[in-house]
Amino acid sequence: MVYVRQEKLPNLKQYKYSGVDHSLLSRYVLKPFYTNFVIKCFPMWMAPNLITLTGFSFVVVNVLTLLWYTPTLDQDCPRWVYASWALGLFLYQTFDAVDGTQARRTRQSGPLGELFDHGVDALNTSLEALIFAASQNFGLGWKTVMTLFATLLTFYVQTWDEYHTKTLTLGIVSGPVEGIVMIIGIFIFTAIKGGGSFWQQSMFRTVGIPQYAFIPEYVYEMPFTEWYIVQGGVVMGFNTIQSCLTVIKARRARGDKSRGALLGLVPFAVTWTLIPAYLYLNPNILNNHLVPFVFLAGLINAYSVGQIITAHLVKLDFPYYNVLVLPLTYAVFDSLGPFLTEHIGIGWPSALGDGEYEVAYMFCMLGMAIGVYGSFVVDVIVTICDYLDIWCLTIKHPYNEQEEAKKSL
């Protein structure tokens, strides 16, 4: 399948990265650390995309330890596991931050770097949601699903925002900076306390707040995990509204209608109408096979985000269609028949049932998602590399200051 037509490729040479970071933590702490120390650890021959991929490998290792020690996301792990999750996420954030500096340093900046960086971030989003759920002992259930929803929505909206405003904007408090630092801190504290079961306690009682009469019983007994969900929901809602207002303002400034832009949120809404519906109709998947389903949901989102980024780079229309939603739609339709028959007496028989065939179909959806997303990534990267005469993970044309000076004469 061809994802980028040849006549659109010249737009790649018009691409210029635009980003605004309002984070005080980034400006006064992280960026000086990256530019004055970390970047010096990487040789000039190392391609920026290789730095990005190396950083992602630390997250993959974290997921492997998760699958070994707490595959059900509700078991306390050895302390070093949580510490390794903190280290892996810190290294990922660091490598992800310095790849752009390395690109400017080696004169390798370009559209492929943006696509590769965002693509890796899209995959990391769902994996970190899974790791965070394990650190809180959320288990295989709706709390993990809500965590996944919040993280995927935040990343999707940020990418949608960048497509319409042409600028990547990070606020004073943002997920890629403060959000990651906070999660690293949670991992470290979990290691100190000896496991995720610590977060299942009442937050008010644990920190020593008395049970005043004006505090309802259910509020006082809410564990840390539920307060995290509340806090995440508030931040997610604020960031989504802020991005919508930013997009509307940017489009109106260009004389475009804002309603068309807001339709870009529909694909995500459709996907996340199907996902909870599927899990509700198939409790076996929710309670026993949620981890591979999280991988599936992450790939569906990564494919949508990848299409948006590609459209941004080569100036295509906004991509509303995601083929990976089709098998999920069928799965919901298949499971809905018996549900309707049971509750209203009118429905249709299920072809998959709720046993091994349903599980097998879920893994088939995961396999299809890996194949489709993998073909998309390979096709787009190869197309861009061929057109710009570059390599993805190595530097094909090293920058030579003397030769460039001669060319300019």
- Side-chain-facing half-sphere of 105: CA atoms under 13 Å: 17
User: Rounded to an integer, what is the distance from CA 105 to the centroid of its chain?
Assistant: 27
Return the axis-axis angle of helices 290-314 and 356-388, rounded to nearest 10°.
30
Active-site residue among 22, 118, 164, 312?
Answer: 118
**Active-site residue 164, yes or no?**
no
* Close Cβ partners of 89 (under 8 Å, ≥ 6 residues apart): 58, 59, 62, 128, 131, 180, 183, 184, 187
Contact 321, 270 (CB under 8 A): no
Measured between alpha carbons, how far is 152 from 303 in angstroms, rounded to an integer? 12
Cα end-to-end distance, the chain, whole Å: 44
- Distances in whole angstroms, Cα of residue 254 to Cα of each of 25, 149, 260, 269: 32, 32, 13, 27
Cα-based angle 113, 15, 165 (whole degrees, multiple of 5): 100
Catalytic residue IDs = 118
